[in-house]
Structure 1
């Protein structure tokens, strides 16, 4: 499947919105999870082929010519207009996804597989907690919009500074805490965990979504599980990236990291 860029918008210095349309989306069907994502394939500059391309054929090419896969959150799907909105974290020319989004122009094409997902706010929860950085902000936004009406939902989001903040909405009783890392040169791994630990303890059953930088999600997970704030079966926790590593280096060690975190003692 593929889409053609019909519009782009710089939402913040670190977040670019890309809207895809065109005949390549004819078979797109959005799933039921709130954190839906598509596996996008970003072409290197040396790619000797256009989009759409044959998956099997490109696997035979040298590594430097093959597309780089990245998971990108579905921010919105307009079934009537057949338009797919992706909000992509971008930090200048760092990272294939962000670099493509920052340069995207109307008519450019992006190939992907999916969608897929793994979390939807539990219908029977009494309260909801959504935590992450810019990389998780699109998913946090969609999860906030999927909370049952009237129920308390707290979002704790780390961004560079006030320019990185965006409006979040929810049918629930939404409370947003923005955490700025500008000026911080140490302690970044604990920045979100400290903010979460400082919150008033929610009452009742809590459904939580914690995604973003690996060390930070791990630290938040420790707070939530060791303090008994969230039951493990109601916690969606996933590392999207790792500070100090590029995409390829992180992909090489991510599975081992996830196993290590899952085996971590909680007492």
Structure 2
């Protein structure tokens, strides 16, 4: 058998790889929390390390919360590399949330957490139990969408998880903006008042999530020039929505901000890992 030896550069030698630069953590304090609707809890986080966040002006700006098991006895900030090597079972879980409001003057931000009836999720449990004075480590912020004033019209599509980003987007629009926002909710009582331009219609789609797909498929999208689209929902649904928007309606891909915010039957760690696999792709 012929064996070929592939040269290895110094940078590729495992023992000589540069140390990975740790991502900066901002440890903030829970300042307040209040129910926005039966299943939506708004939490205000603030403190001097607010400036450590990558404050940006995207209306879908998001941060990652590092949530440790209370039984682990850990206190933020966390040495993630040491935990990963020495005690991986104690690693805090990461949960991604849209920044609903930034308050630079008070050095605080607000996030909206969807509460499930059984509070199975780590973030739901943390949010439900959080009290003023509690500390939480955050990383970020990321983001990539902002309504453009030169757009001829806007189409915003999402579910409860995307509601904070859609709400922030509507608030940021030019008063003369035109368009439509379609938001799916499981429960009628979770409808809330949203500030928006007079020319942007708001429709709530209540019930099975498939109704959101049916509603989008029934839209008249014959005129797509200058249309800016924001579409974020559950992964399987988002794949189907992409087909309707891109393949059926012919909206140019560069005019659409689209990705899955979550996946049915997956916790976020699994969901994020699958983004790198075929099952996690939303593009055909």
TM-score if structure 2 supplies the norm length?
Answer: 0.83
Q: 1:47 and 2:72 equivalent?
A: yes
Preserved contact between residue 242 and residue 282 of structure 2 (Cα < 8 Å): no
Aligned to 2:46: 21
Of residues 232-241 and 61-70 in structure 1, the stretch that sits farther from structure 2 once superposed is: 61-70
What is residue 249 of structure 1 aligned with on the other side?
270
1:228 aligned residue (249, 255, 260): 249
- What displacement does 1:114 show? 1.3
Give the aligned partner of residue 132 of structure 2.
Answer: 106
Aligned match of 1:72 in 77, 97, 105?
97
Paired residue for 1:138?
164
CA RMSD, aligned part only? 2.0
5+ long unaligned stretches in structure 1: none
Which residue of structure 2 lines up, in the alignment, with residue 175 of structure 1? 201
- 2:59 equivalent to 1:34: yes
Q: Residue in 2 aligned with 1:194?
A: 214
Which residue of 2 is the match for residue 57 of structure 1?
82
Structure-2 separation of matches of 1:259 and 1:105: 36
Q: Tell me which residue corresponds to 2:239.
A: 218
Does the residue aligned with 1:80 lie in a helix, a strand or coil?
A: coil
1:193 Cα offset (Å) = 1.4
Distance (Å, rounded) in 2 between the aligned partners of 1:211 and 1:33: 15
Q: Which moved more, 1:238-247 or 1:205-214?
A: 238-247
In the TM superposition, what is the alpha-carbon distance from 1:4 to its structure 2 partner? 0.3
For structure 2, the residue ranges without an aligned partner over 5 or more in a row are 1-25
Cα offset for 1:202?
A: 6.9
Contact map agreement 1:147 1:153 (CA 8 A) in 2: no
Q: Tell me, in whole angstroms, the C-alpha distance in 2 between the residues paired with 1:127 and 1:41.
A: 37
CA contact 2:238–2:282 (8 Å) conserved in 1 = no
Q: Bigger shift: 237-246 or 201-210? A: 201-210
CA distance in 1, matches of 2:256, 2:282: 13
Cα pair 2:178 2:199 within 8 Å, conserved: yes
Q: d(CA) in 1 for partners of 2:150 and 2:278?
A: 31
